[in-house]
Structure 1
């Protein structure tokens, strides 16, 4: 595996975000399958020094040693800027980012290899957040977003549109993590930016998806009327893929159930399931909907049954689909709790 490919590793990137030099060396060796002696020629230090750093007996404090490690391990450019940006600790979008031009306005061609690489890394971050939360990767994703948006003013046409979608995906990720950490205002600010970039780039699936996320936020905040209104806006976005349309219909079903419109909710849940089952393969869905497998679609249908107080249907649906969910610990816990509660009520 190339040095660049190693830096897709989430644990390695998280160590870099913490600037934990001992962990950086350990995680790099783990990802690369190297011994401490194998690391010697890369970082220009003898094995006893590497061992002392990894064990905490020696601290990396000088710029010279930090540079030697950074260059030797070929840390990607979007990560090397992190320590130089104190505003990455802020939750809300900074003024500088808000003022950055968010559309292509120059001629010429931009090398999109950096953007392709960052897109691949973001896919790993999504899965990592599903497994255990994303706060540790916050500064990494913020720095990636900066790298993407700095490319936008120098592009036009389809290349600019691709960058706008990638920027929107990053802003959506930041919004979701901010919401999970009770930073509601920041979450809304990021999701608004994601929507603007999605619309500017002509990406209807992403524009619908961020409406769906806003609906989720409204419902979680106790406002089902606004949640249903926003979910319907997500559904009515033109030219949606089946997966994006399914996600919007499911959210509308949950919001309708919260308003006691159960017949409407059931119809929407059936629509969501039928749409999701049209695209059983991950490659046929937008990248951020990688998780919408047939098993997940069945679980969402069962969750809508729960919301409609169809207790036995919820129990049966969760019991049938949960073994096929895969490695999503938080979601397993969520659906198990739903099934246990529905069993008591049935």
Structure 2
């Protein structure tokens, strides 16, 4: 595996973003299967200094040393603009809109860069549960810069493809902002995601962005708005949605209906969502950002709707049978464990 390929790893990228040199060295060496001696050869340092860095007994204070890491470890170009994440700027900058406004110009672009960034974003989605979104924030922002810088020199299908990739990044940034209690930036990022998806003709992503907005509204205690937005997410353009994209919109509508005590309606929507989701049981049948919607998650969503409808015994049964298969997802496991315990207490 080449040095560049190693940089698809989310934890390695998070260590770079935070300038956590001990973690970066350990993670790189583990992924590459190399010794401290070999690592030192790659970056032009002796083994003793590498050892002190890895144990936290030495610090990197020279930009020359940083440059050696960049060159010797074959760091991807989009990481060059990553700054230390101690001061996160949450709001989307104006220049992103300017770059996207110039799409469909005549020109050429490097699709290999877009392919690479798309792959890495998929890795970040999976890594976020382990390392946290805040740690990966500077990396994803730098990637979004790389994507939007390609758009002015793109045209036709290439520009549309980049619009989708930009929208996926904006959605991720919105989600992390929301988790960090940054409500305003979260809404700004999801609006960008929706607009870019519509501009690029990507119905599934446009629907997903509206579904996320509905989720935000429900979390903020506004089920009327959440239901309206979730229902609108099913009808975003002339093209039909994929089964998985429609399934998550319908499930969100079911949750909002349950919050409004419209339980029969919620049940009907939940059954519809389940049937739609089970039409796309394999990851390749779903949009990339819905990689998680496998049959296990479909079961958990059904249990979640039962919980929202106060069908405590049914909810508890669904959570209980699914939890053993969630061991590798610490955050989700804790969430559904708490729901299970509450449902059992109420049953």
Q: TM-score, normalised by structure 1?
A: 0.95
Structure 1 stretches of at least 4 aligned residues deviating more than 4 Å after TM superposition: 85-88
Unmatched 5+ stretches in structure 2: none
Change (3 A) 1:29 1:315: same
Tell me which residue corresponds to 1:308: 309
SS in 1 for 2:336: helix
Unmatched 5+ stretches in structure 1: none
Rounded to whole Å, the distance in 2 between the matches of 1:217 and 1:73 is 40
Indicate conservation of the 8 Å contact 2:11/2:127, yes or no: no
Q: TM-score, normalised by structure 2?
A: 0.95
For the pair 1:23 / 2:23, whether they are aligned, the reply is: yes
- Post-superposition CA distance 1:140-161 (Å, at most 9, x none): 0000000000001111111111
Displacement, 1:132?
4.9
Tell me which residue corresponds to 2:278: 277
Rounded to whole Å, the distance in 2 between the matches of 1:167 and 1:231 is 22
Tell me which residue corresponds to 1:52: 52
Displacement, 1:341?
1.4
- Post-superposition CA distance 1:246-282 (Å, at most 9, x none): 0000000000010111111100000000001111111
Indicate conservation of the 8 Å contact 1:305/1:311, yes or no: yes
Tell me which residue corresponds to 1:232: 231
SS in 2 for 1:82: coil
Rounded to whole Å, the distance in 2 between the matches of 1:54 and 1:42 is 15
Rounded to whole Å, the distance in 2 between the matches of 1:166 and 1:326 is 30
CA RMSD of aligned residues (A): 1.7
Change (3 A) 1:157 1:324: same
Indicate conservation of the 8 Å contact 1:208/1:237, yes or no: yes
Displacement, 1:99?
2.8
Rounded to whole Å, the distance in 1 between the matches of 2:24 and 2:86 is 23
Tell me which residue corresponds to 1:97: 96
Tell me which residue corresponds to 2:110: 111
Indicate conservation of the 8 Å contact 2:22/2:55, yes or no: yes
Rounded to whole Å, the distance in 1 between the matches of 2:15 and 2:74 is 15
Change (3 A) 1:204 1:87: farther
Indicate conservation of the 8 Å contact 2:129/2:329, yes or no: yes
